[in-house]
């Protein structure tokens, strides 16, 4: 636990109940108080800070930025694991089993999600915490559903800032779940150290219908539900995947992706997945890919954030808003080209 | 041919030789003169205007924009055909045969290319016009190699503006060649009415190694070199492709992609490709997809141009240039987050 800058006597902040009494007395804790709370592992303060990150209110956003900056020196000391897989593959059961295994060996586990559809559909991942009955009660685990947001970019940014907060709160293993839809894997891949693809065997799912890009991103393919009468199919799927993985060029990480079997339901093979990740960390820390990759990810997010802001500032300007449709109409009637119209809008 | 606004007596502009005498007398024709020349189908003026479009000189760019605006009312009356295929598939031979067939039935054919690698590699497509011996000598054909440029965006924009000029010069069939590498197909797909994928049979090339995205974009798959001892393999590849195409969802165009066989070398099956395109035009003009698609493409290019300009303006600003690396260093040493650094750079 980190020092508390002497803001308040440590004993007052040392338990959740004391913090909640404090919360009733004073509804809006200061930035310093929240940072101190987070640094001491206070879950209420962590949740409050995440709520500020997720807020659309500009004052909250400013506050969130300051909290994250203060938390930065305490973050970065974790492993960040991305987990993807199509609906039905057993992601919740796997994360429940995997997370519980990790806390049993002394880890502190935060589970986050990137699900840009969560505002639209009821079926948002992690939305229903009860799907992870044991983990949600585990005091060394912290589960937070996907932030809601209108764009993948927004959801991804918020999740990435939440990682910093969780790490500052002492969580050393960050699991980020995403669903195998659209571009969300790419976003998650760009914020984790290790990317795990969860698959099923015996569902006609081995090689057909796999998005090439996702296989390329995976550091491990874990075949879930490898139990009972599924076991034989899972074993042959493992052979198939190993063959498929060999068709891809070598990774910058120097790591050769592995295929592993597990049964999340029967809690079999879960420790193998962790051993595999440990080996990955050993390899990529030795060859410095681990740090290089985090730096590259940071640069990616810097450029990404700049470009999104440039666009949103441009399109939300009053002049552009009132002229854009007119220019589109002019283009449609052959009075101007897209390029000339762009020049005009940029000159406003 | 279009009216010439009385700039100069029509007889002076009516032949290439008269225009070239004029060119010697006066090195820089005015915008009005170039537009008049293009409208009368003068190839020298068309080439000059394209050179202005491709120039990096700001005065030239301004001049090009004015010429394109003036040409707009005369453009749009064509069919734009994109042709892609990996190197070795026989694109040049196919375009030579297809283009010659089209001029033989009275069409005026312009052949352009989008090849972002042309500045780097010697093997640029259309770079060597002698690969299309007959077409290059055909007075109803106009061949222009890919503009050189540092980015796909730049190359694509220039090609798209060149389409307008070619159409204003009376070319009614625009063929845009691209090579099956990177994102260039997507760029070409977004500027054509019909997208043709050229393939080979009997090269272990039927279904493996196909980029899913390209198949999805194709309105027709034409299997080239379907002659001699290749014919049997080509026929079975046709069956395979037809089966594969049925796995994709229905297109917005209402058109069901077709598979066709040809031998560009023996000039067999070339007319079938044109019949197929005619049927496509009939279908998509009847259901209004043709116009809707061109409008959508225009909107895409409008937004695309705006976003590229916003980025290039931002990153080329002196303040940003001098601060960007410093901020990246601060991120790498954990002193700031990508998001805070982005905010700072945007505030400069």
Q: Are residues B111 and B168 in the same domain?
A: yes
Bigger pLDDT: A187 or B149? A187
Are the beta carbons of B332 and A302 separated by less than 8 Å? no
- Find, in chain A, the residue whose alpha carbon is nearest to that of B74: A334
- One DSSP character per residue, A208-227 reads TT--HHHHHH-SEEEEE---
Q: Are residues B94 and B218 in the same domain?
A: yes
Q: How far is B311 from chain A (nearest CA, A)?
A: 7
Tokens of B231: 């014919």
Q: Are residues B143 and B262 in the same domain?
A: yes
pLDDT number for residue A206: 45
Residue B279: how many other CB atoms lie within 10 Å: 12
Do the domain assignments include residue B1?
no
- Which of these, A339, A310, A322, A304, lies nearest to B303 by C-alpha position? A339
- Which of these, A315, A345, A323, A346, lies nearest to B312 by C-alpha position? A346
- Find, in chain B, the residue whose alpha carbon is nearest to that of A311: B307
DSSP strand E in B120-263: where? 141-143, 173-179, 194-200, 220-224, 258-261
- B345 CB neighbours in chain A (<8 A) are 306
**How far, in whole angstroms, is CA A100 from its chain's centroid?**
19
- B314 CB neighbours in chain A (<8 A) are 306, 310
Helix or strand or coil: residue A192? coil
Looking up tokens 């640029």 gives B124
- Which of these, A124, A131, A122, lies nearest to A146 by C-alpha position? A124
CA B137 vs CA B107, B110, B129, B305: distances in Å = 15, 13, 10, 36
Q: How many CA atoms lie within 13 A of A139 on its CB side?
A: 4
**Which one of A22, A38, A72 terminates a domain?**
A72
Do the domain assignments include residue B3?
no
Element (DSSP H or E) covering residue A80: strand A79-85
**Which one of B29, B55, B72 terminates a domain?**
B72
Are the beta carbons of B339 and A212 separated by less than 8 Å? no
pLDDT number for residue B13: 41
B160 contact partners, CB below 8 Å, separation of at least 6: A338, A339, B191, B301
Residue B46: how many other CB atoms lie within 10 Å: 24
Do the domain assignments include residue B292?
no
Tokens of A111: 């589970």
Interface test with B, best of A249, A302, A335 (most B CBs within 10 A): A302
Digit-coded pLDDT (tens) for A99-119: 999 999 999 999 998 877 654
pLDDT number for residue A18: 53
d(CA A57, CA A339): 36
Nearest to A342 among B306, B314, B343 (CB): B306
Are the beta carbons of A339 and B305 separated by less than 8 Å? yes
Helix or strand or coil: residue A262? coil
d(CA A210, CA A200): 12
Q: Are residues B22 and B68 in the same domain?
A: yes
Torsion A150-A152-A158-A159 (CA) sign = positive
Measured in degrees and rounded to the nearest 5, phi and psi for residue B80 equal -110, 120
Q: Are residues A49 and A157 in the same domain?
A: no
Looking up tokens 């389409």 gives B163
Are the beta carbons of A334 and B76 separated by less than 8 Å? yes
Are the beta carbons of A314 and B306 separated by less than 8 Å? yes
Are the beta carbons of B341 and A302 separated by less than 8 Å? yes
Do the domain assignments include residue B2?
no
Nearest to B337 among A72, A336, A343 (CB): A72
Bigger pLDDT: A36 or B131? A36
Q: Are residues B224 and B327 in the same domain?
A: no
**How far, in whole angstroms, is CA A276 from its chain's centroid?**
20
Are the beta carbons of A305 and B338 separated by less than 8 Å? yes
Chain B residues with CB within 8 Å of chain A CB: 65, 68-69, 72-73, 75-76, 157, 160-161, 164, 212, 295, 298-302, 304-307, 309-311, 314, 327-328, 331-332, 334-343, 345-346
**How far, in whole angstroms, is CA A322 from its chain's centroid?**
37
Element (DSSP H or E) covering residue A260: strand A258-261
Q: How far is B225 from chain A (nearest CA, A)?
A: 28
Helices B318-332 and B289-315: crossing angle in degrees, nearest 10, is: 80
- Which of these, A342, A280, A301, lies nearest to B303 by C-alpha position? A342
Q: Are residues A171 and A215 in the same domain?
A: yes
- Find, in chain A, the residue whose alpha carbon is nearest to that of B344: A306
- A331 CB neighbours in chain B (<8 A) are 295, 298-299, 302
pLDDT band at A202 (very low <50, low <70, confident <90, very high): low
Q: What is the CATH number of the domain that holds B263?
A: 3.40.50.300
d(CA A320, CA A260): 53
The answer to whether B36 and B5 have CB atoms below 8 angstroms apart is yes
CA A303 vs CA A189, A242, A297: distances in Å = 16, 35, 10
Q: Are residues B30 and B58 in the same domain?
A: yes
Q: How many CB pairs under 8 A join A and B?
A: 115
Digit-coded pLDDT (tens) for A65-101: 899 989 988 776 799 999 998 878 888 899 999 999 9
Tokens of B212: 């899913």
Q: Are residues A194 and A254 in the same domain?
A: yes
The answer to whether A225 and A90 have CB atoms below 8 angstroms apart is yes
Do the domain assignments include residue B84?
yes
Residues of the domain holding A145: 75-287
Q: How far is B45 from chain A (nearest CA, A)?
A: 20
pLDDT number for residue A195: 96
- A75 CB neighbours in chain B (<8 A) are 334
- A330 CB neighbours in chain B (<8 A) are none
Q: How far is B27 from chain A (nearest CA, A)?
A: 27
Q: Are residues B309 and B273 in the same domain?
A: no
A175 contact partners, CB below 8 Å, separation of at least 6: A81, A83, A95, A98, A99, A109, A110, A111, A112
**How far, in whole angstroms, is CA B321 from its chain's centroid?**
33
Q: What is the CATH number of the domain that holds B31?
A: 1.20.5
pLDDT band at A243 (very low <50, low <70, confident <90, very high): confident
d(CA B323, CA A83): 36
The answer to whether B127 and B91 have CB atoms below 8 angstroms apart is no
Torsion B172-B187-B257-B221 (CA) sign = positive
- One DSSP character per residue, A125-141 reads TTSSGGGGHHHHH-TTE
Element (DSSP H or E) covering residue A83: strand A79-85
Do the domain assignments include residue A275?
yes
Q: Are residues A93 and A199 in the same domain?
A: yes
- A301 CB neighbours in chain B (<8 A) are 338-339
Chain A residues with CB within 8 Å of chain B CB: 65, 68-69, 72-73, 75-76, 157, 160-161, 164, 212, 295, 298-302, 304-307, 309-311, 314, 327-328, 331-332, 334-343, 345-346
Are the beta carbons of B340 and A68 separated by less than 8 Å? yes
- A72 CB neighbours in chain B (<8 A) are 334-337
d(CA B46, CA B29): 12
Q: Are residues B214 and B112 in the same domain?
A: yes
Q: What percent of chain A has pLDDT over 90?
A: 53
Helices B58-71 and B31-39: crossing angle in degrees, nearest 10, is: 40
For residue A335, with 0-12 CB atoms within 10 Å meaning exposed, 13-18 middle and 19 or more buried, which class applies? middle
Query: Buried (b) or exposed (e) across B84-118, using 16+ Cβ within 10 A?
Result: bbbeebbbbbbbbbbbbbbbeeebbbbbbbbbbbb
Task: Kindly state the average pLDDT of the residues A183-200.
Answer: 90
- A334 CB neighbours in chain B (<8 A) are 72-73, 75-76
pLDDT band at A263 (very low <50, low <70, confident <90, very high): very high
pLDDT number for residue A5: 39
Q: Could you list the pLDDT tens digit for every one of the 348 residues in chain B?
A: 343 333 333 333 444 555 555 555 556 899 999 999 999 999 999 999 999 999 988 899 889 989 998 998 877 679 999 999 887 888 889 999 999 999 999 999 999 988 776 544 444 556 555 578 889 899 999 999 888 766 787 888 899 999 999 999 999 999 999 876 667 888 899 999 999 999 887 655 444 445 667 888 899 999 999 998 889 989 988 998 888 787 777 889 999 999 999 999 899 999 999 999 999 999 999 999 999 999 999 999 999 889 988 998 999 999 999 999 999 999 988 888 898 899 899 998
Nearest to B306 among A304, A340, A346 (CB): A346
Are the beta carbons of A311 and B314 separated by less than 8 Å? no
Tokens of B179: 């090579």
**Which one of B246, B262, B287 terminates a domain?**
B287
Do the domain assignments include residue A59?
yes
d(CA A84, CA A208): 17
Name the domain count of chain B: 3
Do the domain assignments include residue A134?
yes
pTM of the model: 0.70
- Find, in chain B, the residue whose alpha carbon is nearest to that of A340: B65
d(CA B15, CA B219): 39
Digit-coded pLDDT (tens) for A226-240: 998 889 989 988 998
d(CA B253, CA A270): 48
Query: Buried (b) or exposed (e) across A248-260, using 16+ Cβ within 10 A?
Result: eeeeebebebbbb
Tell me the sheet residues that pair with B79: B173
Element (DSSP H or E) covering residue A303: helix A289-315
- Find, in chain A, the residue whose alpha carbon is nearest to that of B65: A340
């Amino acid at each position: 636990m980190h020092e508390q800058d002497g803001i308040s006597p440590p004993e007052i902040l040392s338990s959740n109940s004391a913090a909640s009494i404090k919360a009733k007395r004073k509804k809006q804790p200061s930035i310093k108080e929240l940072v101190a709370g987070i640094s001491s592992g206070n879950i209420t303060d962590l949740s409050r800070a995440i709520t500020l990150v997720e807020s659309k209110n500009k004052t909250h956003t400013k506050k969130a930025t300051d909290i994250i900056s203060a938390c930065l020196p305490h973050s970065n000391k974790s492993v960040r694991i991305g987990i993807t897989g199509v609906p039905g593959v057993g992601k919740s059961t796997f994360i429940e089993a995997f997370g519980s295994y990790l806390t049993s060996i002394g880890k502190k586990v935060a589970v986050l999600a990137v699900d840009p559809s969560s505002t639209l559909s009821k079926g948002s991942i992690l939305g229903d915490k009860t799907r992870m009955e044991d983990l949600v009660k585990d005091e060394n685990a912290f589960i937070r559903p996907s932030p809601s947001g209108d764009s993948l970019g927004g959801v991804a940014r918020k999740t990435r800032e939440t990682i910093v907060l969780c790490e500052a709160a002492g969580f050393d293993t960050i699991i980020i779940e995403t669903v195998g839809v659209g571009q969300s894997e790419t976003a998650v891949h760009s914020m984790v150290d290790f990317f795990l693809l969860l698959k099923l065997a015996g569902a006609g799912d081995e090689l057909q219908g796999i998005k090439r890009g996702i296989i390329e991103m995976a550091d491990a393919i874990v075949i879930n539900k490898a139990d009972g009468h599924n076991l034989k199919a899972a074993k042959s799927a493992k052979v198939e995947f190993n063959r498929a993985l060999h068709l891809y060029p070598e990774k910058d990480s120097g790591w050769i992706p592995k295929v592993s079997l597990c049964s999340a339901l029967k809690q079999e093979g879960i420790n193998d997945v962790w051993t595999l990740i440990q080996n990955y960390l050993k390899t990529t820390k030795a060859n410095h890919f681990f740090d290089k990759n985090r730096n590259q990810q940071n640069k990616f997010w810097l450029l990404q954030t700049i470009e999104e802001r440039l666009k949103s500032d441009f399109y939300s300007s009053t002049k552009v808003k009132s002229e854009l449709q007119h220019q589109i109409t002019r283009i449609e009637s052959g009075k101007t080209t897209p390029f000339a119209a762009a020049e005009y809008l940029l000159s406003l």
